[in-house]
Amino acid sequence: MTLVQELEEDQLAIAAIHRLYDERAEDLLPLLSRFYEAIPQGVAEPGVVAEMDRRGALALLDSDCRVTWLIPRDEAFEGVRDIDSLRVETALADRTMSVRYQHGASEVLEALQRGDAQSAILIRPVSIAEIEVTARTGALMPPKSTFFTPKPRTGLVLRRLDP
């Protein structure tokens, strides 16, 4: 079976898959600061994802859900594709750590509040333009970089062919 979907913004929604870490945000920040300008903020507000888009930033969250904006230093990512998940992997490559993945910023905040993680990085969705470039060049998307919606229903479909 195959599902063919137009690569059009009004027909396809692409969401981000955020990162949860068992490392403290304070311990990740020195690594991230080489690649991002870090701007501390207050506690994450409900519109944190919209604010990320407005700022062109990622959001590092500590265990108290306080935000540090991470604004990419373009010169630090020379030769790295403009995909947040790939850039975060590049920035944290010097450190071996466990990472878990979570859809939805509210679910990430809940995981931090429950103590399921010590920090998180909210990333922005991959752009349709970047997905198109990836497809045309035959490159691969980094793991856990996109979450497409709507999802097709799964399962076996039977249809009678005779009248």
Cis-peptide into 150, omega within 30 deg: yes
Mean pLDDT value of segment 2-16? 70
Instruction: Give whole-number Cα distances, 127 to 61, 71, 73, 81, 121, in Å.
Output: 23, 17, 19, 12, 18
**Confidence (pLDDT) at 140:** 82
Domains of the chain from N-terminus onward: 14-149 (3.30.1760.10)
DSSP per residue, 134-149: HHHHT--PPTT--EEE
**105 Cβ contact partners less than 8 Å away, ≥ 6 residues apart:** 18, 44, 48, 49, 122
pLDDT: is 149 or 102 the higher one? Answer: 102
- Give the per-residue pLDDT at 154: 66
Give me the pLDDT at residue 157, please.
66
pLDDT digits (tens, 9 = 90+) for 15-37: 789 999 999 999 999 999 999 99
Ranges 14-18, 39-43, 118-122: which has the least confidence: 14-18
Alpha-carbon distance values, 2 to 5, 14, 75, 152, 160 (Å):
10, 19, 40, 10, 20
Residue 29 has a pLDDT of: 96
> Is 96 a residue whose pLDDT tops 70?
yes
Average pLDDT score over the chain? 87
SS3 85: helix
pLDDT at residue 153 in the model: 65
The average pLDDT across 82-108 equals: 92
Least confidently predicted of 1-10, 101-110, 118-127 = 1-10
| pLDDT digit string, tens, across residues 127-145 | 878 888 888 888 887 777 7
Q: Write down the pLDDT at residue 31.
A: 95
Using pLDDT thresholds of 50, 70 and 90, give the confidence band for residue 11. low
Q: What is the pLDDT of residue 58?
A: 96
CA angle in degrees (0–180, nearest 5) for 112-114-116: 65
Whether the predicted pLDDT of 114 surpasses 90: yes
